[in-house]
Amino acid sequence: MGYYDLANTIDYMREATGQKSVHVGYSQGGLVALVLLTTRPEYAEKFKSMQFTAPTVYMENIKVPLPTAWISGLGNYFSRFLEWWGHSETLQHARWNFHKQMCSVLCDDGAWLRPIYLKIFSMFGGPVDASENYEHILTKMCGNVPVGASSKQVLHYVQQYVTGGFNQFDYGTVDSNIRQYGQPSPPSYNVSSVRNCISLYYSETDYMCAAEDVRRLGRDLQCAELNRMPYTAWNHGDFVWSRYARKALHEPIIARISSWSEAAGDRAEVKN
């Protein structure tokens, strides 16, 4: 996604508009951009501004209730399974009518299972603030997640969780990795080589993207601005669904993009 898809998107927009790109990446959107910048550094100059919200790059400290030893074993099994099955799409449940019907049973007004769904949501995303009103969008939230991913992509995230690093895909055996990379283990993405200044937005109560991991990312980047969400309870989904997202997140991002654009314009005028 980072090496090919994002690069092609950037090239298309540059050709169509003649302008540099503004990148706002949520969750995996930050990881994908860093994959591009570390593997194809020539793309650094094609970005005017970069903003990452809840970037799931390092996953060493996530608080999702998953036992590392069990996940590690599952990853090895899943890797062997993919060699036989192939790297097809998975987790596309949101496209199934049955999934949407199940979400109606779980989340519609008056559904007795609604509190259970909210509990599951908070277990994986983080605590839900008492002032948030998810009631009117619970069915839509449930019905649109997950939207699908490559099975190889899912396994790669499992590997990131187990190792705590930011590495390229592990093909499971020394021989396979040597064929792919010329070395027995997958190389790390060199985050410290990224020249772009990046604004990072994170929360202390995001279970999927731990604050410690975002601060680690900030230390590893050459130029990073850390912005902690000013709420005692702000979960992974709040970056998208919170009623306060516009004031607390969207407006600051737009202001930051505008300030960087103005600064770039000033530099261009001085240069001219």
What pLDDT digit, counting tens, does each position of 48-78 carry? Answer: 999 999 999 999 998 877 655 555 555 555 5
Please count the CA atoms within 13 angstroms of the CA of 142 that sit on its side-chain side: 27
Would you say residue 91 has pLDDT above 80?
no
Of residues 177 and 97, the one with the higher pLDDT is 177
What CA–CA distance (Å, rounded) separates 229 from 205?
10
Average pLDDT for 239-262:
89
Average pLDDT for 16-36:
95
State the pLDDT confidence band at 112, using cuts at 50, 70 and 90: confident
In the block, residue with structure tokens 């969008």: 137
pLDDT at position 95 is 57
- Residues 234, 207: contact at Cβ < 8 Å? no
pLDDT at position 85 is 54
Average pLDDT for 94-115:
73
- Residues 33, 51: contact at Cβ < 8 Å? no
Most confident of 96-110, 147-161, 248-262: 248-262
- Write the single-letter amino acid at 128: V
Would you say residue 45 has pLDDT above 50?
yes
How many Cβ atoms from other residues are within 10 Å of residue 182's Cβ?
Answer: 8
Would you say residue 103 has pLDDT above 80?
no
Of residues 46 and 127, the one with the higher pLDDT is 46
Q: Say what the pTM is.
A: 0.85
Would you say residue 106 has pLDDT above 80?
no
Query: CA of 245: how far to CAs of 104, 137, 226, 230, 249, in Å?
Result: 25, 15, 17, 11, 5
Mean pLDDT score across all residues of the chain: 83
State the pLDDT confidence band at 29, using cuts at 50, 70 and 90: very high
Average pLDDT for 37-49:
95
Of residues 19 and 116, the one with the higher pLDDT is 19
pLDDT at position 90 is 59
Domains of the chain, earliest start first: 2-91+148-271 (3.40.50.1820)
Burial of 201 (0-12, 13-18, 19+ CB in 10 A): buried
Burial of 208 (0-12, 13-18, 19+ CB in 10 A): middle
Of residues 109 and 89, the one with the higher pLDDT is 109
Pairing of β 21-26 and β 47-53: parallel
pLDDT at position 268 is 37
The alpha carbons of the chain give a radius of gyration, in whole angstroms, of 20
